[in-house]
């Protein structure tokens, strides 16, 4: 088993309030607030529950996913209390760590906030360090919706073409993203380091300070350690470029999903068109010149770079674990993983992967997604679970070499 000190996952975590949208509640809110079809574009800021309803409906209409800062924390609490919901642990690093623990790969988490819910829900034996000085709780609202969810009220009539999830956040601890002085000592023994969470920051001076502090800590990473950066929707979009500029020369693998890719490129991409994806990868590599780009979508996951095939096992592991979560949520078993691996891959994804590799050559390696028909899928945490599966493969392969 890998020593927990060999895998460091950061840099923030949180408590999530997870809920599943239903038409009845949304239709009631559309009527109460007088929301019209002409308003269905995502508000720049969410300052009220009404803004929250407009934002959610705009995503449901196109089957999209996203993350947003919410100026009014009370609006998230009010909305959550309209639905049955459960408290879980969130943040890419925390969800990845929980999965890795279940797969027998322990890790050390860097947290910015700890409370009794976090202590209760973290797997037994999980190691963590915390930059916070007192217990704090700033729940994130996580909204899931199923494909074919239909909302009809007033002049609104929208049907979700895909299942997806939305994240709404007002979290001072993750906005500050303080780093504990222990981080460098932990990184000195690490073989795998995950960076995520800076998307929640909102102050440029604080962001630049954290980048400088993180670079100082990262200088203690051993030679051969793999640093994986997972992208996210930035609450202040301009900060994405500042983070890349500060860290790209220290990142081995840069991961992102289809929503983030399309936001960067400023257009919708046909995810099953090898020609369009090949062009998108060329553009992304110019924008994000990391040694390896990892792009994970609902149809496939790929690595793009000089040594793309190096990541084949990690891509497959991430794809398998995301599919298991999609089918079974948190309560999967080893038998579920074995059964999933026996399932067929999506035929259109298999064709896409073959054609993309033929078109681009050995700079790309693509793992097709599985053919799954799930009436009530889990859409929360799929990207985080992909990252956890990917890093599990890296940790296991590096036990004797890092």
pLDDT one-digit tens code per residue, 43-95: 667 899 999 999 999 999 999 988 889 998 889 999 999 999 999 999 999 99
Q: In whole angstroms, how large is the CA radius of gyration of the chain?
A: 20
Q: In whole angstroms, give the CA distance from residue 292 to residue 290.
A: 5
Question: Does the structure show a pLDDT above 60 at 400?
Answer: no
The answer to whether 17 and 117 are in contact (CB under 8 A) is no
| Structure tokens belonging to residue 338 | 């074995």
Lowest mean pLDDT segment, chosen from 41-55, 203-217, 340-354: 41-55
DSSP classification of residue 369: P
% of the chain with per-residue pLDDT over 90: 89
The answer, yes or no, to whether residue 402 has pLDDT greater than 50, is: no
User: What distance lies between CA 187 and its chain's CA centroid?
Assistant: 22
* pLDDT at 2 (0 to 100): 58
* Cα 144 from Cα 186, distance rounded (Å): 35
Angle at 33 between CA 28 and CA 35, to 5 degrees: 95
Contacts of 90 (CB under 8 A, 6+ apart): 13, 14, 15, 16, 140, 142, 381, 384
Q: Are 331 and 292 in contact (CB under 8 A)?
A: no
pLDDT of residue 379: 87
Domains observed in the chain: 7-14+89-135+172-400 (3.40.1190.20), 16-88+138-169 (3.30.1110.20)
Please give the Cα distance from 166 to 138 (Å, whole number): 17
pLDDT of residue 36: 95
Question: Distance between CA 196 and CA 12 in Å, rounded?
Answer: 7
| pLDDT in the model for residue 43 | 62
């Amino acid at each position: 088993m890998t020593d927990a000190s060999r895998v460091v996952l950061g840099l923030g975590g949180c408590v999530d309030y997870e809920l599943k949208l239903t038409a009845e509640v949304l239709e009631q809110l559309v009527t109460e607030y007088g929301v019209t079809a002409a308003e269905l574009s995502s508000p720049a800021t969410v300052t009220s529950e009404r803004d929250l309803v407009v934002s959610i409906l705009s995503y449901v209409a196109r089957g999209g996913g996203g993350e947003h800062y919410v100026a009014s924390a009370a609006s998230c609490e009010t909305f959550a209390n309209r639905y049955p919901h459960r408290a879980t642990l969130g943040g890419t690093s925390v969800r990845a760590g929980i999965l890795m623990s279940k797969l027998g790969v322990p890790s050390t988490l860097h947290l910015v906030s700890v409370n009794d819910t976090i202590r209760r829900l973290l797997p037994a034996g999980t190691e963590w360090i915390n930059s916070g000085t007192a217990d704090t709780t700033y729940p994130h609202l996580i909204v899931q919706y199923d494909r074919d969810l239909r909302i009809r009220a007033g002049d609104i009539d929208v049907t979700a073409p895909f299942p997806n999830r939305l994240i709404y956040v007002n979290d001072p601890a993750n906005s500050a993203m303080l780093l504990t002085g222990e981080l460098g000592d932990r990184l000195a023994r690490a073989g795998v380091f995950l960076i995520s969470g800076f998307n929640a920051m909102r102050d440029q001076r604080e962001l630049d300070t954290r980048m400088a502090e993180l670079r100082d800590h990262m200088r203690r990473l051993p030679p051969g350690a793999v640093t994986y950066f997972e992208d996210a929707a930035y609450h202040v979009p301009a900060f994405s470029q500042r983070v890349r500029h500060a860290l790209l020369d220290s990142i081995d693998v840069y991961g992102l999903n289809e929503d983030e890719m399309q936001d960067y490129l400023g257009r919708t991409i046909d995810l099953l068109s090898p020609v369009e994806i090949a062009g998108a990868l060329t553009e992304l590599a110019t924008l994000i010149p990391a040694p390896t780009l990892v792009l994970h979508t609902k149809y496939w996951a790929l690595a793009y770079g000089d040594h793309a095939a190096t990541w084949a096992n990690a891509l497959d592991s991430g794809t398998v674990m995301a599919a298991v979560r999609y089918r079974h949520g948190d309560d999967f078993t080893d038998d579920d993983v074995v059964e999933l691996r026996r399932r067929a891959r999506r035929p259109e994804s298999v064709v896409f992967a073959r054609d993309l590799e033929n078109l681009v050559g050995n700079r790309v390696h693509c793992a097709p997604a599985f053919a799954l028909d799930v009436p009530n899928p889990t859409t929360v945490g799929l990207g985080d679970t992909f990252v956890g599966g990917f890093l599990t493969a890296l940790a296991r392969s590096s036990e004797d070499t890092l």
